[in-house]
Amino acid sequence: MSHLLREHAPITAAGWKEVDEEARERLTPALAARKLVDFAGPLGWEHSATALGRVAALADEPVRGVAALQRRVLPLVELRAPFTVAREELRAIDRGAVDADLDALDAAAQRIAVAENLAVFHGLASAGIEGIAQVSSHPPVPLGEDACDRYPTHVARAVEMLLSAGIEGPYGLALSPEAYTGVVETTERGGYPLLDHLKKIVGGPLVWAPGVDGAVVVSLRGGDFLFESGQDLSVGYERHDEQAVHLYLEESFSFRVATPEAAVALPVNA
């Protein structure tokens, strides 16, 4: 039995199928980081740390004339977003209902996706994770509050920075929901969609990225940004009562930036 304890939940196969499909549908659009960085795993719930290949010298010698080194690792962080599903809704699913109320699941999916994006792009200091925008070796390129039509200039500048540093493309552009909406809604002079113009500049995808401040341009060549999954996103069982089943979305992962030169942050404000 897995630690998710799904077998203990009072949920039928049809109910689990609906819950899992809903979770997958809600998570996939919001998991921006996975669309731009390298993904390794899943390596299992038991996987606890990422080897960094480095050591730290211990100050004291265990025995005179014997040096001691300790391996450095990056422990995986566990993210968990609880939610409930009304048992009445689960019974409705079993009867064939296609409009079950799974709003709490949708909200939990959004929360955990934002948390993953935040960790990857802006870091999670308490877990020892440094984000892409944090460690970029390039000066940030401020987008400004209301200059959507100036995005091509800013993004082209970021791409030029990467090229100058010898970082090959194609590149991807993670955009905050506000920036993404602005891009989609904007048409440049001559009626050319801003979205298409930006795609041409970066040569890769534009990604809707809830949790991102402004935008981030990253190289997609591979080997620069390393997401290591222990347990991939899963739905687990916590408990149940007469009214509801208490479930949770959970994952474990670590994230490392191998090449700080391979990204440029474009925050709303400098």
Q: Which of 9, 34, 131, 136 is close enough to bind another protein by CB under 8 A?
A: 34
**Which range binds another protein by CB under 8 A, 12-20, 125-133, 139-147, 253-261?**
12-20
Output the smallest distance, CB 125 to another protein, in A. Answer: 25
Q: Which of 41, 142, 144, 177 is close enough to bind another protein by CB under 8 A?
A: 41
Residue closer to another protein (CB basis): 161 or 220: 220
24 part of the interface to another protein, by CB under 8 A: yes
- Closest to 69 (Cα-Cα) out of 78, 60, 79, 81: 60
Measured CA to CA in angstroms, residue 122 lies from 33, 86, 110, 199, 266 at distances of 11, 35, 17, 23, 12
Output the smallest distance, CB 33 to another protein, in A. Answer: 9
* Pair 214, 179: CB distance under 8 Å: yes
Q: What is the DSSP string of 236-255?
A: EEEEE-SSEEEEEEEEEEEE
Residues 161-220 that bind another protein (CB under 8 A): 205-208, 220
Residue closer to another protein (CB basis): 133 or 175: 175
**Rounded Cα gap, residues 38 and 242, in angstroms:** 43
Instruction: Please provide residue 37's backbone torsions phi and psi, each rounded to the nearest 5 degrees.
Output: -115, 165
85 part of the interface to another protein, by CB under 8 A: no
Output the smallest distance, CB 214 to another protein, in A. Answer: 18
Q: What is the DSSP string of 15-52?
A: HHHHHHHHHHHHHHHH--GGGTSEEE----TT--EEEE
By CB under 8 A, name the binding residues for another protein: 2, 4, 6, 13, 16-17, 19-21, 23-24, 27-29, 31, 34-39, 41-44, 205-208, 220, 229, 231-235, 251
